[in-house]
Structures are given as structure tokens and as C-alpha cells.
């Protein structure tokens, strides 16, 4: 089945807001399983999830592990670490999980303005 819809999700909160983090990953994973092209952005305190091992530290009762969801997004979608968010947290290019790119607001705007694209911010 050809992908005809694109979903861009920006997660702008960290694990201190576990429900929102879990919801963003659940929606992204569901979209991938539904053959939707997914671009997942890590911004704000979610930037820490781009650092190896951090997503595996996340635990929320009755929620799927986000470490596995992040791995699936890297393999089957696009995961982007916000460049300004990374700099503010001293996360340098090369510190992130392989497969996660670093880009800024210009790239985000370009993605969300494409045809057949839906953007969600958590």
C-alpha cells in the first residue's frame, strides 16, 4: 500500500509529563502501523530522549515502552532532534542515537506545509 498521508508529530515535553509522552509515541506508532509516513520531532525536554538509553528509562503503567517505539520510528519513519533544544541542553551532533537527525525550525515548517500533511504537537 502506498503512503498517501504524512503525520508530523512534535513532542515538546519530557518524561516529567509521562502521559503526554506516551500519547505522542502511541499515536506515532499507530500511524506507522496504519502505513502513514511519520516524522517525529523531539523538542524541549523531549530532546533528552534522543540521548542513548534515556527513552529506556521511561516507565508508565499500562503503557508501551517508548524505547521500542523510538527504535521503530527511527527504522520506519524520521526522527528529528530540534537543533536549538539540543544546543540548550549541551547535546552535540553525534551524542544522539544513530539515525536521529538534527534540524531546526525551517525544516519543521517545510515539513508541516507539505501537501497531505497533518501536524500534531504534544
pLDDT one-digit tens code per residue, 49-105: 999 999 999 999 999 999 999 999 999 999 999 999 999 999 999 999 999 999 999
The pTM (predicted TM-score) of the whole model is 0.94
CATH architecture of 6-121: 3-Layer(aba) Sandwich (3.40)
Q: CA-to-CA distance for 90 and 118, rounded, in angstroms?
A: 31
Q: How confident is the model at residue 4 (pLDDT cuts 50, 70, 90)?
A: low
Residue 1: its pLDDT value, please? 41
Q: What are phi and psi of 100, to 5 degrees?
A: -95, 125
The 10 Å CB-count burial string (b at 16+, else e) for 66-84 is bbebbbbbbeebbbbbbbe
- The answer to whether the beta carbons of residues 76 and 116 sit under 8 Å apart is no
Kindly list the domain boundaries of the chain, sorted by start residue. 6-121
For residue 31, give the 3-state DSSP assignment.
helix
Amino acid at each position: 500500500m502506498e503512503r498517501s498521508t504524512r503525520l508530523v508529530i512534535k513532542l515538546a515535553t519530557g518524561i516529567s509529563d509521562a502521559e503526554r509522552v506516551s500519547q505522542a509515541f502511541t499515536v506515532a506508532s499507530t500511524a506507522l502501523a496504519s502505513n502513514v509516513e511519520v516524522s517525529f520531532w523531539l523538542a524541549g525536554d523531549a530532546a533528552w530522549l534522543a540521548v542513548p538509553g534515556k527513552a529506556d528509562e521511561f516507565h508508565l503503567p499500562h503503557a508501551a515502552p517508548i524505547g521500542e517505539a523510538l527504535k521503530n520510528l527511527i527504522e520506519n519513519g524520521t526522527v528529528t532532534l530540534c537543533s536549538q533544544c539540543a544546543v540548550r541542553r549541551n547535546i552535540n551532533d553525534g551524542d544522539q542515537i544513530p539515525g536521529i537527525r538534527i534540524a531546526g525550525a525551517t525544516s519543521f515548517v517545510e515539513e508541516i506545509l507539505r501537501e497531505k500533511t497533518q501536524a500534531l504537537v504534544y
